[in-house]
Chain A
Amino acid sequence: MGDLNSISLDCGRKPEHPEETHSDVGRTCELHVPVAEGKSVQQTVDLLHKKLEQLSAVKQGSFFVDCETYHAAGPTSGQPPKLLYVMHNSEMPLSCMAMFEGGPCLTADANFDVLMVKLKSHFQNAKGHKVESRGARYQYCDFLVKVGTITMSSSARGISVEVEYCPCVVPGDCWNLMKEFMQSFLGSNVPELPSVFTAKPEGLYAPADSTDTMTQYLELFSKVRKQQVVPGSTVR
């Protein structure tokens, strides 16, 4: 179990290749965009891209976030089995996040996946439950916008939009500012301040920036997972 040495159990940020990570800290907000009536997911994504480009945002490559589900195996005394989620984010290519829903969360090296294979007897991979979001990454001034298509078992389930305002470290402070920015290309679909941030006493965006972002992605993915597969993907 030499792999264990490489796992850091703190929630701190792992050093990454600087050229691969763009933003150090910032505050992000993901939201689930309803697909417009009578349009496919791809058409709505294209529409968002067009709106962003009209704002003179610059496209900067692509991104992905994925999430795999593991069932805790073994005797569970009456309780429903706990689910462990293992997530990857292209912003942090060397890291891997493992989190329980609403519970503790840990940031580990990317080879945590290998460890999970070895822990097969305790955690079983729920095949077919893999959710991922892939899409383009845009930069507009100090904003970072990621528009992704959420897919689950190769069917498009919805659209995720991540907005990050990099210069500000306190999400509550710049929330109104972000809201205004999101209104400029999302219209009225602007959410309220994510609960991840309201729950914090200080309101400071976690230095382990990934955890806040990933918690939001996890919430979004669980929402998507619970949805019925509707042909044509008119998802709310």
Chain B
Amino acid sequence: MADVMNVGVNLEAFSQAISAIQALRSSVTRVFDSLKDGMKNKETLEGREKNFISEFQENLQAVNRDLNELERLSNLVGRPSESHPLHNSGLLSLDPVQDKTPLYSQLLQAYKWSNKLQYHAGLASSLLNQQSLKRSANQMGASAKRRPKVQPSALALPPQYVDDVISRICRMFPDMTIELSRPNGTSAVLLVTLGKVLKAILVMRSLFIDRTIVRGFNENVYSEDGKLDIWSKSNYQVFQKVTDHATTALLHYQLPQMPDVVVRSFMTWLRSYIKLFQTPCQRCGKFLQDGLPPTWRDFRTLEASHDTCRQ
């Protein structure tokens, strides 16, 4: 509240400064006015010039005076914005119609909340770090030589590491084939073929899956120029739905510290679609609902259900 008080005291200086600005503006206007009018009609040329120059000087001095005054006042006003923790938004507290627009109190709450969040996130992160160190303390020495330990920024992993992770996942699931390609620079694009059911295209950024699109086994995954078509959606409603769910899964499986675990979890989840057309819904026991088979797979149990049955 001290800041608010401080600002209140300076209000006097504010109003003075505003009038000083007005004075400065009018004196500047006067300078240009006199310049515009030019020399007044006097008998001799010398008289005219003299008069004009003296008037011009007078006007300039007036400008100078007003400017000095404004500078003086501006020092008095100070810089409330910098001392305020909320910067300029702190000035919202000066709004007299607080009842109608409770912006300031909301802002303070949000600020507090975000501070707390940051604090807790920091605590959680440090705790988790300790745990992971304990668990893998023995392997650390051996594995550090073989492959780089996850770096603080998992966005900049060497391509070789990504290749390793993908090929290990590929070996885990025999009914899944994964083709890795790098059409544009270092980012990998995976073409996952799951049995004879579906094909999924995963666009990666290092080990994070950025985008996924699922199409039918018999649909084209290459565009006319022979490149992987990562944009156009499937012609079949069932795979459009699966694409939606896969995108949800991408958002669900998040573990910034261990991106390879995320990819593996996602693949495990995707693999549960191998029986897309063979499994009835675990909730309602039917195959079809609105013409679609159970397209949803639970993230933990991998249980199949219709999109509408899961809620």
Interface of A toward B, CB cutoff 8 Å: 24-25, 55, 140-143, 165-170, 173-174, 176-177, 180-181, 184, 204
Set A140, A165, A167, A181: member contacting B239, Cβ < 8 A:
A167
- DSSP majority for the A interface? loop
Q: List 17 A-B contacts (CB under 8 A).
A: A141-B291, A142-B236, A167-B238, A167-B239, A167-B277, A168-B197, A168-B277, A169-B196, A169-B216, A169-B218, A173-B277, A176-B287, A177-B288, A180-B287, A181-B288, A184-B288, A204-B196
Interface of B toward A, CB cutoff 8 Å: 196-197, 216-219, 235-239, 275, 277-278, 280, 286-288, 290-293
Set A142, A169, A176, A181: member contacting B217, Cβ < 8 A:
A169
Question: Chain A: which residue is nearest B236 at the CB level?
Answer: A167
Write the nearest CB–CB distance from B289 to chain A, whole angstroms.
10
Set A141, A166, A173, A176: member contacting B280, Cβ < 8 A:
A176
Write the nearest CB–CB distance from A56 to chain B, whole angstroms.
9
Residues A166 and B288 in contact, CB atoms below 8 Å apart = no
Write the nearest CB–CB distance from A232 to chain B, whole angstroms.
35
Question: Chain A: which residue is nearest B290 at the CB level?
Answer: A141
User: Chain A CB within 10 Å — which of B218, B235, B278 has the most?
Assistant: B218
Known contacts A167-B216, A173-B277; is A142 also within 8 Å of B288 by CB?
no
A170 to B195, CA, bound (A): 10
Set A166, A173, A180, A184: member contacting B236, Cβ < 8 A:
A166
Question: Chain A: which residue is nearest B242 at the CB level?
Answer: A167
Complex contacts, B291 vs chain A, CB 8 Å: 55, 140-143, 181
Write the nearest CB–CB distance from A139 to chain B, whole angstroms.
10
Question: Chain B: which residue is nearest A25 at the CB level?
Answer: B218
Write the nearest CB–CB distance from A93 to chain B, whole angstroms.
20
Question: Chain A: which residue is nearest B198 at the CB level?
Answer: A167
Question: Chain B: which residue is nearest A203 at the CB level?
Answer: B196
User: Chain A CB within 10 Å — which of B219, B237, B277, B292 has the most?
Assistant: B277
Write the nearest CB–CB distance from B186 to chain A, whole angstroms.
34
Residues B277 and A174 in contact, CB atoms below 8 Å apart = yes
Residues B196 and A24 in contact, CB atoms below 8 Å apart = no
A169 to B236, CA, bound (A): 13
A174 to B236, CA, bound (A): 15
Set B237, B275, B288: member contacting A180, Cβ < 8 A:
B288
User: Chain B CB within 10 Å — which of A24, A25, A141, A165 has the most?
Assistant: A141
Write the nearest CB–CB distance from A23 to chain B, whole angstroms.
9
Residues A177 and B293 in contact, CB atoms below 8 Å apart = yes
A24 to B292, CA, bound (A): 19
A46 to B290, CA, bound (A): 23
Question: Chain B: which residue is nearest A174 at the CB level?
Answer: B277
Residues A173 and B287 in contact, CB atoms below 8 Å apart = no
Complex contacts, A24 vs chain B, CB 8 Å: 218-219
Write the nearest CB–CB distance from B217 to chain A, whole angstroms.
5
A169 to B292, CA, bound (A): 16
Residues A173 and B278 in contact, CB atoms below 8 Å apart = yes
